A = this chain, B = another copy of it.
Amino acid sequence: MPKTLVAVTRSPLSPTPRSTIKRGRKRAVTDRAALDAVLDAGLICHLSVVIDGSPVVLPTGYGRDGDTLYLHGSTGALSLRSALDNEVCVAVTLLDGIVYARSVFHFSANYRSAVVHGHARLVESAEERLHGLKVLTEHMAPGSWNHSREPNAKELAKTAVLALSLDEAALKVRTGGPGDEPEDISDNLAWAGVLPLTQQWGAPQPSDDLAPGWEIPAHVMDRYASRG
């Protein structure tokens, strides 16, 4: 069967049961590079916190440095304050395609999904706050930290930086075609295959208020030219 499901847990392996892959596990490996690759390939994450007993999930930026995921937000945001009171969960998902099967039951998606659980730490030191913001900026827009103006004291005061350890993280990957029933395959009753999906950068659009004379900087052009 062409499909592959991979569960990756970091060392130490699965500190708590929820970070193990319970459904659809085919094999578990401890390839931490695979987890890092998904976290580095994603652009945004979905951050979930508990507010008054109910879950709230929001898209937000992030960046990884070694074993630490940095998140940020306004110091006044309810979700960030809640993130410090309870555990958080962060998901980074890359959707790679839709899997068409002979039977509706076996329709699926190809994807790479990293999920991280833990207590976020409010970064207090000025040095690490600046470092976390650099990691975030370079993740969102590589090459921009040195190109653009760094945060001033007033801007730093408005920005909360959170650090989340990658100690409790899981990776789930699905690739390949559908896992149809043998009788449906032999009955040959429907088309089966994958419609791949990729993300593509469009041509850089200079801001309306940009002064004349600018060429697109190399760090922007290189990203546009790079992919997907």
Contact = CB atoms under 8 A, between A and B. Distances in A.
Size bracket of the A interface: 35 or more
A56 B47 CA distance: 9
Contacts of A53: 50, 86-87
Given A56-B18, A77-B22, A104 B137 contact: yes
A74 B23 contact: yes
A34 B188 CA distance: 41
Interface stretch (A5-13, A121-129, A198-206): A198-206
A197 interface: yes
B191 A214 contact: yes
Nearest to A116: B57
Nearest to A1: B209
Interface in A16-59: 18, 22-23, 43-44, 46-51, 53-59
Contact of A196 (B95, B159, B205): B205
Interface in A133-162: 133, 137, 140-141, 144-145, 147-152, 155, 158-159
A44 to B, nearest CB: 6
B87 A54 contact: yes
Interface string A55-99: 111110100000000000110111000000011111101010110
Given A48-B55, A54-B89, A193 B205 contact: yes
23 contacts: A2-B209, A18-B54, A23-B76, A44-B93, A44-B111, A48-B57, A48-B89, A54-B89, A57-B57, A98-B141, A100-B144, A103-B155, A105-B155, A105-B158, A141-B195, A148-B190, A149-B189, A149-B190, A180-B207, A193-B204, A193-B205, A193-B220, A197-B199
Interface of A: 2, 18, 22-23, 43-44, 46-51, 53-59, 61, 73-74, 76-78, 86-91, 93, 95, 97-98, 100-105, 107, 109, 111, 113, 115, 117, 133, 137, 140-141, 144-145, 147-152, 155, 158-159, 177-178, 180, 184-185, 188-211, 214, 216-217, 220, 223-224
Q: Which 4 A-B pairs have the closest CB atoms?
A: A196-B202, A177-B207, A48-B57, A48-B55
